[in-house]
Protein backbone atom coordinates (compact mmCIF):
# COMPACT_ATOMS: atom_id res chain seq x y z
CA UNK A 1 0.00 0.00 0.00
CA UNK A 2 0.99 3.62 -0.46
CA UNK A 3 1.32 6.13 2.35
CA UNK A 4 0.11 9.72 1.93
CA UNK A 5 3.39 10.78 0.32
CA UNK A 6 3.14 7.86 -2.11
CA UNK A 7 -0.35 8.97 -3.15
CA UNK A 8 0.98 12.51 -3.71
CA UNK A 9 3.95 11.23 -5.74
CA UNK A 10 1.68 9.23 -8.04
CA UNK A 11 -0.69 12.14 -8.57
CA UNK A 12 2.26 14.42 -9.42
CA UNK A 13 2.80 12.26 -12.53
CA UNK A 14 -0.59 13.46 -13.84
CA UNK A 15 0.58 17.09 -13.95
CA UNK A 16 1.52 18.29 -17.43
CA UNK A 17 3.94 21.04 -18.44
CA UNK A 18 2.28 24.45 -18.46
CA UNK A 19 -0.61 23.50 -16.17
CA UNK A 20 -2.16 25.82 -13.60
CA UNK A 21 -2.98 23.53 -10.65
CA UNK A 22 -5.01 24.07 -7.48
CA UNK A 23 -4.10 21.91 -4.48
CA UNK A 24 -6.78 21.21 -1.88
CA UNK A 25 -6.30 20.67 1.85
CA UNK A 26 -4.73 17.43 3.16
CA UNK A 27 -2.92 14.93 0.94
CA UNK A 28 -3.11 17.23 -2.14
CA UNK A 29 -0.82 19.81 -0.51
CA UNK A 30 1.97 17.18 -0.53
CA UNK A 31 1.92 17.13 -4.34
CA UNK A 32 3.90 20.41 -4.31
CA UNK A 33 6.93 18.43 -3.08
CA UNK A 34 6.92 15.99 -6.00
CA UNK A 35 6.54 18.00 -9.21
CA UNK A 36 8.64 16.10 -11.80
CA UNK A 37 11.89 17.69 -12.95
CA UNK A 38 11.54 19.60 -16.20
CA UNK A 39 7.79 20.09 -15.73
CA UNK A 40 6.94 23.78 -15.45
CA UNK A 41 3.65 24.28 -13.58
CA UNK A 42 2.08 27.10 -11.59
CA UNK A 43 0.47 26.02 -8.31
CA UNK A 44 -2.47 28.12 -7.15
CA UNK A 45 -3.64 28.40 -3.55
CA UNK A 46 -7.24 29.56 -3.23
CA UNK A 47 -6.42 32.00 -0.41
CA UNK A 48 -4.58 34.14 -2.99
CA UNK A 49 -1.29 32.88 -4.39
CA UNK A 50 0.10 31.88 -7.78
CA UNK A 51 3.54 30.27 -7.80
CA UNK A 52 3.45 28.14 -4.65
CA UNK A 53 6.58 26.10 -4.00
CA UNK A 54 7.31 23.07 -1.80
CA UNK A 55 7.00 23.12 1.98
CA UNK A 56 9.82 25.03 3.75
CA UNK A 57 12.56 23.28 5.68
CA UNK A 58 12.34 23.44 9.45
CA UNK A 59 13.54 26.82 10.68
CA UNK A 60 12.89 28.53 7.34
CA UNK A 61 9.12 28.97 7.75
CA UNK A 62 7.52 32.38 7.16
CA UNK A 63 4.23 32.61 9.14
CA UNK A 64 2.92 35.17 6.64
CA UNK A 65 3.12 32.64 3.79
CA UNK A 66 0.43 29.97 4.12
CA UNK A 67 -1.74 27.81 1.88
CA UNK A 68 -5.50 27.26 2.09
CA UNK A 69 -4.94 24.74 4.89
CA UNK A 70 -2.95 27.31 6.92
CA UNK A 71 0.31 25.38 6.44
CA UNK A 72 3.48 27.40 5.90
CA UNK A 73 4.72 27.28 2.31
CA UNK A 74 7.35 28.74 0.02
CA UNK A 75 6.98 30.89 -3.07
CA UNK A 76 8.84 30.55 -6.37
CA UNK A 77 10.45 33.33 -8.44
CA UNK A 78 7.70 35.23 -10.25
CA UNK A 79 4.99 34.30 -7.76
CA UNK A 80 2.05 36.63 -7.18
CA UNK A 81 -0.01 37.30 -4.05
CA UNK A 82 -3.55 38.73 -4.21
CA UNK A 83 -6.89 38.66 -2.42
CA UNK A 84 -9.27 35.70 -2.32
CA UNK A 85 -11.81 37.48 -4.56
CA UNK A 86 -9.23 37.52 -7.37
CA UNK A 87 -8.37 33.90 -6.61
CA UNK A 88 -11.97 32.73 -6.91
CA UNK A 89 -12.38 34.84 -10.04
CA UNK A 90 -9.63 32.69 -11.59
CA UNK A 91 -11.32 29.50 -10.40
CA UNK A 92 -14.82 30.45 -11.56
CA UNK A 93 -13.49 31.64 -14.93
CA UNK A 94 -12.01 28.13 -15.45
CA UNK A 95 -8.41 29.33 -15.57
CA UNK A 96 -7.32 26.30 -13.52
CA UNK A 97 -6.33 23.27 -15.62
CA UNK A 98 -6.31 20.72 -12.81
CA UNK A 99 -7.73 20.59 -9.29
CA UNK A 100 -6.50 17.99 -6.78
CA UNK A 101 -8.85 17.46 -3.84
CA UNK A 102 -9.27 15.22 -0.85
CA UNK A 103 -12.59 13.45 -0.28
CA UNK A 104 -14.59 11.62 2.36
CA UNK A 105 -16.58 9.73 -0.28
CA UNK A 106 -16.74 9.41 -4.08
CA UNK A 107 -19.59 7.68 -5.90
CA UNK A 108 -19.33 5.50 -8.99
CA UNK A 109 -21.03 8.35 -10.90
CA UNK A 110 -18.26 10.80 -9.99
CA UNK A 111 -20.13 12.61 -7.19
CA UNK A 112 -17.94 13.87 -4.35
CA UNK A 113 -18.60 14.51 -0.65
CA UNK A 114 -15.71 16.25 1.07
CA UNK A 115 -16.92 19.04 3.30
CA UNK A 116 -19.29 17.94 6.05
CA UNK A 117 -20.11 15.07 8.39
CA UNK A 118 -23.61 15.66 9.83
CA UNK A 119 -23.51 16.39 13.56
CA UNK A 120 -19.91 17.62 13.53
CA UNK A 121 -19.07 21.31 13.65
CA UNK A 122 -17.86 22.76 10.36
CA UNK A 123 -17.05 26.38 9.51
CA UNK A 124 -18.42 26.08 5.98
CA UNK A 125 -17.83 24.49 2.60
CA UNK A 126 -14.85 26.71 1.84
CA UNK A 127 -13.73 26.76 -1.78
CA UNK A 128 -14.56 23.15 -2.58
CA UNK A 129 -17.91 23.84 -4.26
CA UNK A 130 -16.41 26.48 -6.56
CA UNK A 131 -13.52 24.19 -7.46
CA UNK A 132 -15.63 21.15 -8.36
CA UNK A 133 -18.10 23.29 -10.32
CA UNK A 134 -15.44 25.09 -12.35
CA UNK A 135 -12.36 22.89 -12.79
CA UNK A 136 -11.59 21.41 -16.19
CA UNK A 137 -10.20 18.26 -14.58
CA UNK A 138 -10.40 16.96 -11.00
CA UNK A 139 -8.31 14.23 -9.38
CA UNK A 140 -9.17 13.00 -5.89
CA UNK A 141 -6.44 12.01 -3.42
CA UNK A 142 -7.98 9.92 -0.64
CA UNK A 143 -7.78 6.90 1.61
CA UNK A 144 -9.65 3.95 0.10
CA UNK A 145 -11.39 3.02 3.35
CA UNK A 146 -12.37 4.92 6.48
CA UNK A 147 -11.15 4.27 10.03
CA UNK A 148 -13.79 1.55 10.44
CA UNK A 149 -12.47 -0.23 7.35
CA UNK A 150 -15.52 0.72 5.24
CA UNK A 151 -15.11 1.61 1.58
CA UNK A 152 -15.12 5.29 0.56
CA UNK A 153 -15.63 4.41 -3.13
CA UNK A 154 -19.38 3.87 -3.11
CA UNK A 155 -22.42 3.21 -5.33
CA UNK A 156 -23.70 6.59 -4.08
CA UNK A 157 -22.44 9.05 -1.47
CA UNK A 158 -24.07 9.00 1.98
CA UNK A 159 -22.66 12.36 3.13
CA UNK A 160 -23.78 15.81 1.89
CA UNK A 161 -22.52 16.34 -1.65
CA UNK A 162 -19.97 18.92 -2.72
CA UNK A 163 -20.42 18.30 -6.44
CA UNK A 164 -22.19 15.96 -8.88
CA UNK A 165 -20.61 13.92 -11.70
CA UNK A 166 -17.40 15.93 -11.60
CA UNK A 167 -14.61 13.53 -10.57
CA UNK A 168 -12.47 12.07 -13.36
CA UNK A 169 -9.73 10.15 -11.53
CA UNK A 170 -8.99 8.87 -8.02
CA UNK A 171 -5.69 7.83 -6.43
CA UNK A 172 -5.81 5.90 -3.14
CA UNK A 173 -3.33 3.85 -1.14
CA UNK A 174 -4.52 0.82 -3.15
CA UNK A 175 -4.55 2.04 -6.74
CA UNK A 176 -5.40 4.46 -9.52
CA UNK A 177 -8.98 4.59 -10.83
CA UNK A 178 -10.85 6.31 -13.64
CA UNK A 179 -14.49 7.21 -13.10
CA UNK A 180 -16.26 5.94 -16.22
CA UNK A 181 -18.80 8.17 -18.03
CA UNK A 182 -21.40 5.40 -17.77
CA UNK A 183 -20.66 4.91 -14.06
CA UNK A 184 -18.26 2.68 -12.17
CA UNK A 185 -14.59 2.69 -11.22
CA UNK A 186 -12.01 1.40 -13.71
CA UNK A 187 -8.84 0.11 -12.03
CA UNK A 188 -5.83 1.39 -14.00
CA UNK A 189 -2.91 0.57 -11.68
CA UNK A 190 -2.38 -1.41 -8.48
CA UNK A 191 -0.27 -0.12 -5.60
CA UNK A 192 2.92 -2.15 -5.06
CA UNK A 193 2.12 -5.48 -3.41
CA UNK A 194 -1.66 -5.06 -3.61
CA UNK A 195 -3.75 -7.61 -5.54
CA UNK A 196 -6.81 -6.94 -7.69
CA UNK A 197 -8.83 -9.14 -5.33
CA UNK A 198 -7.86 -6.99 -2.32
CA UNK A 199 -8.99 -3.89 -4.20
CA UNK A 200 -12.31 -5.52 -5.14
CA UNK A 201 -13.00 -6.34 -1.49
CA UNK A 202 -12.24 -2.75 -0.43
CA UNK A 203 -14.47 -1.15 -3.10
CA UNK A 204 -18.22 -0.94 -2.49
CA UNK A 205 -18.99 0.73 -5.82
CA UNK A 206 -18.98 -1.02 -9.20
CA UNK A 207 -15.39 -1.91 -10.09
CA UNK A 208 -14.05 -2.87 -13.51
CA UNK A 209 -10.61 -4.49 -13.51
CA UNK A 210 -8.63 -6.65 -15.92
CA UNK A 211 -6.78 -9.68 -14.59
CA UNK A 212 -3.42 -8.18 -15.59
CA UNK A 213 -3.71 -4.68 -14.08
CA UNK A 214 -0.15 -3.29 -13.93
CA UNK A 215 1.57 -2.36 -10.68
CA UNK A 216 2.22 1.36 -10.42
CA UNK A 217 5.70 2.82 -10.40
CA UNK A 218 6.07 5.56 -7.80
Within 10 A of 186 (CB to CB), how many other CB atoms are there?
16
Q: How far apart are CA 198 and CA 200, in angstroms?
A: 5
46 annotated active-site? yes
- 46, 105, 173, 189: the active-site residue: 46
Q: Which positions are catalytic?
A: 46
Amino acid sequence: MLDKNGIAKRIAKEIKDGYYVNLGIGIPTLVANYIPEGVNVVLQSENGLLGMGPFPFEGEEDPDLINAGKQTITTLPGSSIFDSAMSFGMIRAQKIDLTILGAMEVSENGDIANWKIPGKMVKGMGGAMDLVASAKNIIVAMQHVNKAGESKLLPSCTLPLTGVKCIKKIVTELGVFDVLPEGGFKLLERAPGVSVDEIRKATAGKLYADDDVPEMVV
